[in-house]
Structure 1
Amino acid sequence: MAVTLGDPAGIGPEIALKACEDERIRHSMRIVLFGDPRALEEHARRCSLATQYRTLTRLSEIDAGDDRPAFVPVHSLDETFRIGEVTALSGAATIAALNAAVDAARDGWVDAVVGAPIHEMAIKQAGIAFDGHPSYLARRTGTPVDEVVLMLCWRKKRVAHVTVHLSLRDALATVTAERVKKVIRTTAQALRDLGIQTPRIGVSGLNPHAGESGLFGREEIEIITPALNELRSDDLELIGPIGADTLLPRTDCDAFVVMLHDQGHVAARMAAPNMAAALALGTPVMFSSVGHGTAMDIAGKGVASPEAMIQALLHVTNTHPVGEAQ
């Protein structure tokens, strides 16, 4: 499993090292860290972490019969690097490590990638176009952007999104029957990969109370319901459209599909603060990231919890069989 260090000035390197030491991770997978050695060493020193890892000179050394975590150095930083500061230098290092890890997964050296938290302002300062992991992964792997779906996972909840990082105006225009069908199909396939052969998926409405039979909008009548009717079959059970506020508390669905970013993300933040994993579905590379930010204010202090990183690793191994890499 590849793990990127995220923004090297944040808590990413710390939680990556701590996750390597967790019993749930040590006994279920082998970790390959990707990032700048200056950042990894500085965080280990300041946080008093004594994680033993081996540094690779080439990817072919991954399967060297050594149970210690491996580290692929991606040299990006210089002596001006400072923990806790948002800079273009750290933004560029974030993407350099991400590129290296995703390419390693695409080429079959690792089974999947889990990303530590990034700082989008630092990436912007570096002059790098970035509007979220799903679209980044699409571009990096040559996948059409509209094929990629973001799914949030926490505890036994899985929530896929029809739209994600768009203005509300643009998101409303993006909710089409074709887009709804595409997200449902991708979600259903992810569930089948989990061994759920007849998925049961709950689908939200777009408007309050799913439009209340047209009183609050007709998108449910004209877009979402026809899409669901077209996809319903013996091996795919669809429930909805139902208002997101009443849909997500249900316990009788294998997954949910919501129309808008906040319909899923607010629920995740309320139910599992900082613990949800974000999976990108639909690309050749299985990718998951943590559900919290870089926490620059506590970076380098040794107090960051690795639980979100651990959960992201556990979720992605549940959706991508480990052991198939070269």
Structure 2
Amino acid sequence: MKQRRIAVTLGDPSGIGPEIALKAYGDPRIHKHMSLVLFGDKRALDEHARLCGLTQDYHTLGSASEVQDWKGGLAFIHVPCLDGSFRIGEVCALSGAAAIAALDAAVDAAQAGFVDAVVGSPIHEVAIKKAGIAFDGHPSYLARRTGTPVDDVSLMLCWGRTRVAHVTLHMSVREALDAITSARVENVIRMTSQVLRRLGLAQPRIGVSGVNPHAGESGLFGREEIEIIGPTLNKLRAEGFDLLGPMGADTLLPRNDCDAFVVMLHDQGHVAARVAAPNMAAAMSIGTPVMFSSVGHGTAMDIAGRGVANPEALIQALLHASNSFSEGENE
């Protein structure tokens, strides 16, 4: 099996990203099966390593193109952005800009074929906004960065054997209702099916939620299921898709007879992830040419630099990114 080379961004350098990136590589589930290339500012990596008592045994690469000749292990690519005003634990524009600079460099390396996938450490959206950078979540940002239509990209939360893709994400519920169209629902189901097939599932079964309580209860609580979601599922069933639903999300997500779920609203998937796998879910952006996964938790500024951050969510994101390649691609 080919050992994958995964780019890992340090995320917001004021948070726990640099710490968990170093800790993740120390886990045998990671260093025995894949090589990591960290992207970020060296000032942040060195300071977190010092404060947390972590090893800095990495190979420094001058550019992403040098990955081709690198023998593997743990490497680092310096993406300069910070200055002497950098402080751990503070939400600031400098750190927001550094997080996006590292993300851009890693995504560019993946598009150039130097790394197989990108995994993102946690970012802070307020810090990014302070930096004056437009950011409405990884899926939309990655779509724009890779020249992919935004409607062709979605977010899939993964924990254990559960996978949940979202039709709408970072918008108000009022806006989301208008965004739940037949075309959008169909796109997300097709994207989800493609991911599952890459995982080796020849005929995946996908459960699809409604948008209203009890999936509208035959029109008593809303008609989106009757007029939009149901007809879309029937169209795809006629093509051979194995689909369950539409069902109320509270009834659907506990089921164990589906390979993945598609939900209509952000909170339908995210609340389930927070309850079932607090701070342990991986967030995969699907539909872009770059395989991207990130942690499902925040920057934890309150514990940054103390050496107590748990790297498990980043480890899970790395495992999901690596496992997203089919057996044929792993040869």
**TM-score normalised by L of structure 1:** 0.97
Deviation at 1:30, TM superposition (A): 0.5
State the TM-score, normalizing by the size of structure 2.
0.96
CA contact (8 A) 1:202 1:257 kept: yes
Q: What is the alpha-carbon distance in structure 2 between the residues aligned to residue 234 and residue 104 of structure 1? A: 37
Residue 60 (structure 1) shift? 2.8
The one of 182, 188, 191 aligned to 2:187: 182
Q: Paired residue for 1:208, among 193, 213, 229? A: 213
Structure 2: stretches of 5+ with no match in the other structure? 1-5
Indicate conservation of the 8 Å contact 2:199/2:326, yes or no: no
Q: Which of residues 42, 58, 68 in structure 2 aligns to 1:37?
A: 42
* Cα distance in 2, alignment partners of residues 324 and 103 from structure 1: 21
Maintained 8 Å contact 2:68/2:114: no
Q: 1:37 and 1:322 mapped to 2: Cα distance?
A: 36
Q: Secondary structure at the match of 1:75?
A: coil
- Per the TM alignment, residue 234 of structure 1 is displaced from its structure 2 partner at its CA by 6.6
User: Is 2:209 aligned against 1:226?
Assistant: no
Q: Tell me if the contact between 1:32 and 1:70 (Cα under 8 Å) persists in the aligned partners.
A: yes
* Aligned 1:40-51 pairs, distance under 5 A: 40-51=45-56
Alpha-carbon distance in structure 2 between the residues aligned to 1:184 and 1:125: 35
Residue 252 of structure 2 is aligned to residue 252 of structure 1: no
What are the equivalent positions in structure 2 for 1:1-326 lying under 5 Å apart?
1-233=6-238, 235-320=240-325
CA distance in 1, matches of 2:69, 2:142: 28
- Tell me which stretches of 4 or more aligned residues in structure 1 moved more than 3 Å: 63-67, 321-325
Cα deviations by residue, 1:176-204 (Å, 9 ceiling, x for unpaired): 11111111011011111111110100000
How many Å separate the matches in 2 of 1:56 and 1:322? 30
> How far apart in 2 are the matches of 1:68 and 1:214?
57
Gaps in structure 1 of 5+ consecutive residues:
none
- 1-structure distance, mates of 2:328, 2:295: 23
Task: Give the conservation status (yes or no) of the 8 Å contact 1:124–1:130.
Answer: yes
Match of 2:3 in 1: none
Count of aligned residue pairs for this structure pair: 325
Partner AA of 2:131 in structure 1 = A
Corresponding letter in the other structure for 2:48: H
Q: Tell me by how many angstroms 1:236 deviates.
A: 1.9
Q: Aligned to 2:135, what secondary structure does the other structure show?
A: coil
Instruction: Give the fraction of aligned pairs with identical amino acids, expressed as a percent.
Output: 71
1:252-292 Cα deviation digits (max 9, x unpaired):
00000000000000000000000000000000101000010
Asked if the contact 1:197/1:235 (under 8 Å) is kept, the reply is no
Pairwise CA distance, 1:235: 4.2
One-letter identity of the residue aligned with 2:153: V
> What code does the residue aligned with 1:179 have?
R
Aligned 8 A contact 1:112 1:320 in 2? no
Question: How much does 1:63 deviate?
Answer: 3.8
In structure 2, relative to structure 1, the CA distance for the partners of 1:183 and 1:15 (3 Å cut) is same
> C-alpha distance in 2, partners of 1:88/1:236?
46
| Contact kept? 2:46, 2:56, Cα under 8 Å | no
Q: Do 1:111 and 1:320's aligned partners in 2 also have CA atoms closer than 8 Å?
A: no
The 2-side partners of 1:196 and 1:244 are apart by: 23
Please tell me the residue identity of whatever aligns with 2:114.
W
